[in-house]
Amino acid sequence: MSKVLLIDDDVELVDMLKEYLEQEKFEVNVAYDGEAGAAEALTGQYAIAVLDVMMPRLNGVDTLRRIRAKSSMPVVMLTAKGDDTDRIIGLELGADDYVPKPCSPREIAARIRAILRRASAENNEQSPYSPLAVGALSMWPEQRRATWNGKPLELTSSEFNLLEVLARNAGKPVSKQHLSEQGLGRPLARFDRNIDVHLSSIRQKIAALGSDKSCIQTVYRLGYQFIKE
């Protein structure tokens, strides 16, 4: 049973989501404001959090920032329909996915399952003694751990998945459709820029570890490519 944390001040929506997720065999706990939600998320008890952007005491963006300062647990954000600003800021801060409101419990359950299924598959795929190594990058999928030139590379769950797909195909262009299916667990939607934002974040994190050039290149009309050094 996977434990889910819902962080949202909309009592009616939370009750509906909690009831549905429990019927789907998830264990669910609830926090009704950002302060309580961040504290609960950082207890380490949860497989994933679902976080609303608009909340009292501490909004969703600041709550995510507080979580990301100490944890890489998967986070799905709930944003107002059509509000690209909140969505992009959330992704840049390390959200793994987003769902625009109004949303159905079924869709949220599907997004949660996709993220957790991908993480579980990676955990069982490789021996802990056999890292995936390409140039300065080393990844241990079963531990969800990565380093760059021996320094810890702190990635969100979705960032880790996308970088792993690129690393396994190093030297070859990978389409955004393939990245979305293999890295995010869902088909690429029209006008979806999640992958672009996630990869921009990865580039920034690698640069912060001392890399003076981007190992991830955009390939015109094809997608992205991890450059072998």
Tens of pLDDT along 88-125?
888 888 888 888 888 889 989 988 988 888 766 655 55
Burial classification of residue 86, based on how many CB atoms lie within 10 Å of its CB (0-12 exposed, 13-18 middle, 19 or more buried): buried
Q: Is the dihedral of CA 60, 64, 67, 70 positive or negative?
A: negative
Per-residue model confidence (pLDDT) at position 145: 86
For the segment(s) 3-121, the CATH number from 1.10.10.10, 3.30.930.10, 3.50.50.60, 3.40.50.2300 is 3.40.50.2300
44 phi-psi bin (left φ>0, alpha ψ -120 to 50, beta other): left
Question: How far is it, in rounded angstroms, from Cα 104 to Cα 133?
Answer: 40
For the segment(s) 127-226, the CATH number from 3.40.50.300, 3.30.750.80, 3.50.50.60, 1.10.10.10 is 1.10.10.10
Q: Is the pTM of this model over 0.75?
A: no
Which residue ranges of the chain lie beneath pLDDT 70? 1, 81-83, 119-130, 229
